Amino acid sequence: MTRVLSVASECVPLVKTGGLADVVGALPSALAECGVDMRTLLPGYPAVMAGVKGAKVVTDLGDLFGGPATLRRGALGDQVLYVLDAPHLYDRPGSIYLAPDGKDWPDNPERFAALSWAAAHIGTNGIEGWSPEVLHLHDWQAGLAPVYLREMGAADRVGTLLTIHNIAFQGLAPANRLDALRLPATSYNPGGFEYYGQISALKAGLVTADKISTVSPTYATELMTPEFGMGLDGVLRERQADLTGILNGIDLGAWSPPYKSPKGKAARTKALRKEIGLPPSDGPLCVVISRLTEQKGLDLLLNVLPTLLDAGAQLALLGSGDARLESGFRDAATRYSGVVVRIGYDEALAHDLIAGGDVILVPSRFEPCGLTQLYGLRFGTLPLVALTGGLADTVIPASPAGMAAGVATGFQFAPVTANCLRVALMRMCALWQNRKDWQKMMENAMAHPVGWDQSARTYAALYQTLKKVP
């Protein structure tokens, strides 16, 4: 039994802004079957505190970056959850990262340094008689933990794994906050956590953690290039021997289709059109569930939308983000009867779109892993994706070879341009007319493994290599 503390800034069902939360929520149960005793540490945001009412205090951390802090024990299903209760850092309105004005909280460096500090404290001292052998740290919000663990003198006893879910977010802070963040000045240099004159929490983890992982094999390779490495590609090339890509999975219980074969989808599609106000159609119903950003390639979709609609397809979109894209898709819904747009996020509607859609569009410019294409595969909602990151690793394209071998599960396009997306959409609409081939692809997609079994075994084996005390 390997003891692991998973440290993250969000986790379903308590708090979520993206796929990170789904992964953190799914890991403990998935890994339990592989002999891993994983407990999770989260910040005590209002939503988290409300979800663990009555959680008892198990450790007093004293003053932590400007106010009193304790660790409380709660539960995440049947798994142990520790919550960092520090009201001066987390008890506030707005999103977990952004103030009501839409800008980062000014004290975000301290808020997540505190999370890292608490993780290192648990690694060093244990908690309730339980001592983790490995700290599994997610993204920049937990990136300072290996530094603190070393400063506390426990780095030779506790292994550390940093997982990059999205390298675009790096946790930068001004250099004059070194002392405020309890960081050693000796490590503020290009070989440490200095990043172009600032402190980078993510870089701190990349150079200090024992091992690094990311959420797909292709993204691991992409990260070592200037195009995708966001200024940290050199650091990752230096640590190539310690970097691995492990695909995310999905919770098969939470994402379980209400039909067992492709034939069951037709009724769901008809019901979905009625539910969201789309007219009946013989063409494919394309769905998007996404943040509306250029990273996600939604500007490209907006550009080619008239071509898609002219080919007889429809579009149902659920998401929010860039104001210009929100406005563009709203305008499209006003102009075209075959477009429905819902700005915001609605978990129930997301499930309905996946269940009733024929195609799920994920035209991302980069995508570390992606989960929506995995949901699509599970439900026989064929993914049409860009050839990047985890999208490249999880979708078998309807190429001549893929179709001849009878193994295709979706569509891919590259490079990520509007014209290539247009060609892929036209290819998809043409194939839609061949119902026999389309149904075979749906069967392939629904049979494709998208759960955690293989990845959980890979993580468990990696944790074994990180154990330092026999």
* Identity at 196, one-letter amino acid code: Y
> Could you tell me what percentage of the chain is helix, strand and coil, using 3-state DSSP and rounding each to the nearest 5?
40, 20, 35
Two tokens at 215? 């959420």
State how beta strands 159-164 and 211-214 pair: parallel
Rounded to 5 degrees, φ, ψ at 424 are -65, -40
Could you tell me if 415 and 359 are in contact, meaning their C-beta atoms sit under 8 angstroms apart? no
Pair 385, 375: CB distance under 8 Å? no
- For 117-131, b where at least 16 C-beta lie within 10 A, e where not — what string? bbbbbbbbeebeeeb
Where are the strands (E) in 271-390, listed by range? 285-292, 314-321, 339-343, 359-362, 382-386
The verdict on whether residue 265 carries a ligand-binding annotation is no
| Other residues' Cβ atoms within 10 Å of the Cβ of residue 83 | 26
φ, ψ dihedrals at 371, nearest 5°:
-115, -30
Residue 315, strand partner residues: 286, 339
Task: Please enumerate in sequence order all residues whose Cβ is within 8 A of that of 458, keeping only pairs 6 or more positions apart, or say none.
Answer: 246
Distance CA 76, CA 151 (A): 30
User: Rounded distance, CA 339 to CA 281, Å?
Assistant: 12
Residues within the annotated binding site? 16
Residues within the annotated binding site for ADP-alpha-D-glucose? 16
